[in-house]
Amino acid sequence: MKTEKIDDILKYYVPSCMDKVVAYETEKSLEMGPPSEEYLEKMNRLVKRMRWKEKYFIPVKTSQRIVSAILVFLVTATVLTFSVSAIRNKVFEVIHVVYEKYTMYQYELQEGNVGKFVPMYPTYLPEGYRERTMDTGDNYSLQDYYNETTGKSIVIDEERIEDGTRIYEDNEFITEEKQERDGIEYRIGIKEDEIVIVWEKNGNSIALGSDLMDKETLLQVAAEMKTK
């Protein structure tokens, strides 16, 4: 052992050390009491949001699927965005990677400040839709509007774009199109029973998903979202 290079020591002993420590701590953690209701509620909301995001944008349920993903191309683009709360402009480099099943957009902040997250809310909703869930965190907002009569819902997930933010989009839509309204590009994906619209505004990435199969109505909801 004495003559091994320091990196060889690190490669061997760091994992063995941490395996033992984590095994011990895992056992000790079983002695802990239950967490607070508030924590459970917060974590459940986070899990629920991630379920929704994975359903539409991270179609990766198993590790095998990541491993088998095929990198088609990689492009970078510089995007200038403005925040409603920040005076300074923000410049992001967006790494755009297309895999077999999904596309990843990774944002890397080049200059400026991401500013404070200011969520937007729909000012127009089709008849019969009422708020069912409103979960707003420091940098995200999940809104769910539900129509009791039809059983259909409109779910809106908003996220502040920060350094390192990754947005995933499903590549498995039956049809895809882009529409521009008031200078904003809306990417629309249509599946058999769901429509997803994705766009960026005020430094946020917004995704609207619904089983209401009416593209024009959903686009109107998207276009008429505003800050309070």
- Kindly list the residues in this chain that would bind another protein in the complex (CB under 8 A): 1-7, 9-11, 13-26, 28-30, 32-33, 35-36, 38-39, 42-43, 46-48, 50-52, 54-55, 58, 60-61, 63, 66-67, 104, 132, 137, 139, 144, 146, 151-153, 155, 164-166, 193-194, 209-211
Question: Is the CB of 144 or the CB of 170 nearer to another protein?
Answer: 144
Of 124, 181, 186, 192, give the one whose Cα is nearest residue 154: 124
Q: Is 94 exposed, middle or buried (0-12, 13-18, 19+ CB in 10 A)?
A: middle
Neighbours of 113 (CB within 10 A): 13
Q: What are the tokens at 216?
A: 């024009």
Least distance (Å) between residue 21 CB and another protein: 5
Q: What are the tokens at 200?
A: 């960026």
Least distance (Å) between residue 34 CB and another protein: 10
Q: Is 53 helix (H, G, I), strand (E, B) or coil?
A: helix
Q: Is 182 helix (H, G, I), strand (E, B) or coil?
A: coil
* Helix (H) or strand (E) segment spanning residue 176: strand 175-181
Least distance (Å) between residue 64 CB and another protein: 9
Question: Is the CB of 30 or the CB of 87 nearer to another protein?
Answer: 30
Least distance (Å) between residue 19 CB and another protein: 5
Least distance (Å) between residue 160 CB and another protein: 12
Question: Is the CB of 23 or the CB of 184 nearer to another protein?
Answer: 23
Neighbours of 198 (CB within 10 A): 21
Q: What are the tokens at 16?
A: 């063995």
Question: Is the CB of 152 or the CB of 187 nearer to another protein?
Answer: 152
Question: Is the CB of 33 or the CB of 183 nearer to another protein?
Answer: 33
**What count of residues does the chain have?**
228
Least distance (Å) between residue 54 CB and another protein: 4
Question: Is the CB of 147 or the CB of 220 nearer to another protein?
Answer: 147
DSSP secondary structure string for all residues of 95-144: EEEE-SSEEEEEEEEEES-------EEES---TTEEEEEEEE-SSEEEEE
